[in-house]
Structure 1
Amino acid sequence: MGAAAGKVKAAVRAAGKVAGKRARTGTDAVPRPRADAVRNRERILAAARDVLVEFGPAAPLDEIARRAGVGNATLYRHFPDRPALIHHVVLFGLDRVTALAVDSLAEEPDAFAALCRFTHAAADERIGALCPVLASDFDHDHPELVASREVLEETIEALLTAGRTSGLVRADIGVGDLMIALSQLSRPLPGTGCFDANVFVHRHLQLFLDGLRAPARSELPGSATTLADLRRKPM
């Protein structure tokens, strides 16, 4: 990517901070799990994400275990209660989206292609659809979540900076702007039961992405939005 090469390295370094920040929370001070346990855990988290989106925060845990292909005992061995499961589903999503940003920036031929690949892939992680199911008592400030959010923000900022540096992405867009659009455009319409709306999601995301191309055709009101702005202003 030429001028953006340094941003690729910065994104990779940022993603690597997750492990260091987790270690400071004490969550890594356990023996390394067996490979089959890791696979079971990932299947449970992926299934839980989909079931939570479909049924909401009261989603039946039996259905999550069934879709993951594991027994209830295996589910509870990994996640002793519903709050723990929801916490780790969110963490799982944040870390997967960060990895998507790193891979997109490192592997695509230019920064705008990287931005498009990341945005579409992140939508498939259903992060926007998951947001409404988080209960009011969900601990958004848990140290693990704070660490993952910080790394996600740094990595997406590297992605956008690479686009600006190469002259392919307009300069008046921030990480928060991208995440708002991704969250809003990837949610099913309320009351429609439209869980097979992926074709519409990706059409509308591409319309949005085309609006990020440089040179910009209009001047946006206000200023670029950061993730810190979103945390100060409830959406």
Structure 2
Amino acid sequence: MIRTDGGVPAEGADPERPARRVPRPRADAVRNRERLVAAAREMFVEFGCSVPYDEIARRAGVGNATLYRNFPERPGLVHEVVLSLLARLTERAERAAAEETDTFAAVRRFALAAADERVGALCPMLDGTFDKDHPDLVVERERLEEAVEGLVRRAQAAGRLRADIGVGDLMVGVSQLTRPLPGTGCEAFAPFVHRHLQLFLDGLEAPARSELPGTTATLGDLRRDA
């Protein structure tokens, strides 16, 4: 049998039957899905995960049918938003490492970029019903951890980042400082995020100005009781 795609017939396949091609999603379908995920991320930050589905479709500029076709159930949409967020954070960590010659500037750039993603405001999505161990999320989470650990190790090796902190300390700070206080909205809180995050980052820079209580926090520590 001649394969038009240049591949080898699967074991056990009928050699007389033409290979079945898996159709690629249309470009407009891919764009619509991306718009839905982006709109959901924005609205989850602003209003929480219980925001009406109709409002998400309206924000994305698509019909309700398109939303339900891509994400029939809300948990699937939440999963995709978290996956997208992890990928975006990994990209920002990798770009900071590649483009900043000052290793502490790379840490600062990543932290500010993570703050712009409103990671703390999205934390409520990770409740008891969310599947944190889904294989897709595990892979993306490991990519992010590797990228951020690289930033921290390089800055510490260069003597630019205090040695008594871990990746978990950095991520806790970013998450807490981007999570609005009770009774405040994200828009009212946003102007203060970079200001307060800069104060936090000043405390991470070497030489250390104080001795920290307790031990360094790893990302594994943060997941232990999740």
TM-score > 0.5, shorter chain as reference: yes
Listed one character per residue, the Cα deviations across residues 154-176 of structure 1 (whole Å, up to 9, x for unaligned) are 11000111111221111111111
Alpha-carbon offset, residue 222 of structure 1: 1.8
Which one-letter code corresponds to 2:150 in the other structure? A
| Aligned Cα root-mean-square deviation (Å) | 1.5
Pairing 1:92–2:84 present: yes
User: Separation in 2 of the partners of 1:152 and 1:194?
Assistant: 25
Listed one character per residue, the Cα deviations across residues 176-198 of structure 1 (whole Å, up to 9, x for unaligned) are 11111111100111112343322
Q: 1:180 aligns with which of 172, 189, 197?
A: 172
Which one-letter code corresponds to 1:34 in the other structure? R
Pairing 1:72–2:70 present: no
User: Separation in 2 of the partners of 1:183 and 1:80?
Assistant: 30
User: Separation in 1 of the partners of 2:28 and 2:95?
Assistant: 25
More displaced, 190-199 or 162-171? 190-199
Q: 1:227 aligns with which of 214, 219, 222?
A: 219
User: Separation in 2 of the partners of 1:118 and 1:194?
Assistant: 20
User: Cα 1:90–1:194, aligned 2, differ >3 Å: closer, same or farther?
Assistant: closer
Pairing 1:109–2:101 present: yes
Pairing 1:40–2:36 present: no
Q: 1:204 aligns with which of 179, 196, 210?
A: 196
Which one-letter code corresponds to 1:36 in the other structure? D
Q: Tell me the TM-score normalized by structure 1.
A: 0.82
Alpha-carbon offset, residue 218 of structure 1: 1.2
| Contact 2:100 2:106 (8 Å CA) reproduced | yes
Q: 1:53 aligns with which of 38, 45, 59?
A: 45
Unmatched 5+ stretches in structure 1: 1-29
Structure 1 segments (4+ residues) deviating >6 Å? none
Task: Indicate the percent of aligned positions where both proteins have the same amino acid.
Answer: 67
Which one-letter code corresponds to 2:222 in the other structure? L
Q: From the two aligned structures, give the one with the greater helix fraction.
A: 1
Listed one character per residue, the Cα deviations across residues 93-135 of structure 1 (whole Å, up to 9, x for unaligned) are 0111011000111011311111111111111111110112334
Q: Which has the higher contact order (CA 8 A, sep 6+)?
A: 1
Counting matched residue pairs gives 205
Alpha-carbon offset, residue 34 of structure 1: 3.4
